[in-house]
């Protein structure tokens, strides 16, 4: 549960900060990078909300699948968004190759949520 909340907070804070920077500070200096940063921020914020939902679900019923889902969603969002941020801001073209791995982790996390849904016992 603690990890879910820490992951949600980290992804949420980072997503808001980067989104705000893209909207207010980045446009003047690197207009072509704004779309990359906004995409990363959007994915981070959605996955932060998902981690909060997993924290609530985990409080009701702890399962290994929910833990796997939280880990995959949280790390996936960090890797995906982080790669986009570094690509946009530092021009590191090779780092963009990490984004698909983050995306694959996020997909795996959502699949684990589905699997957990089949295993959850009704109250």
Residues 47-105: tens digit of each pLDDT: 888 888 888 887 777 788 888 988 999 999 999 999 999 988 888 889 989 999 999 99
Q: Is the pLDDT of residue 3 over 80?
A: no
C-alpha to C-alpha distance for 33 and 66, rounded to whole angstroms: 35
Q: What is the mean pLDDT of the chain?
A: 85
Contact in structure between 80 and 102 (CB atoms under 8 Å): yes
**In terms of Cα–Cα distance, which of 74, 84, 79 is closest to 113?**
74
Q: Is the pLDDT of residue 122 over 70?
A: no
Read off the pTM.
0.83
Number of separate domains in the chain: 1
Domain that holds residue 14: 2-119
Residue 14 CB neighbours (<10 A): 20
**43 vs 60 pLDDT, higher one:** 43
Contact in structure between 77 and 106 (CB atoms under 8 Å): yes
């Amino acid at each position: 549960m603690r990890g879910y909340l820490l992951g949600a907070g980290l992804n949420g804070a980072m997503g808001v900060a980067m989104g705000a920077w893209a909207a207010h500070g980045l446009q003047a200096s690197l207009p072509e990078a704004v779309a990359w940063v906004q995409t990363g921020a959007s994915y981070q914020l959605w996955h932060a909300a998902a981690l909060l939902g997993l924290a609530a679900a985990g409080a009701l019923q702890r399962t290994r699948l929910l833990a796997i889902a939280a880990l995959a969603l949280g790390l996936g969002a960090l890797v995906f968004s982080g790669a986009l941020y570094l690509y946009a801001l530092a021009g590191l073209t090779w780092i963009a190759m990490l984004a698909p791995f983050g995306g694959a982790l996020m997909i795996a996390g959502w699949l684990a949520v589905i699997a957990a849904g089949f295993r959850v016992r009704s109250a």
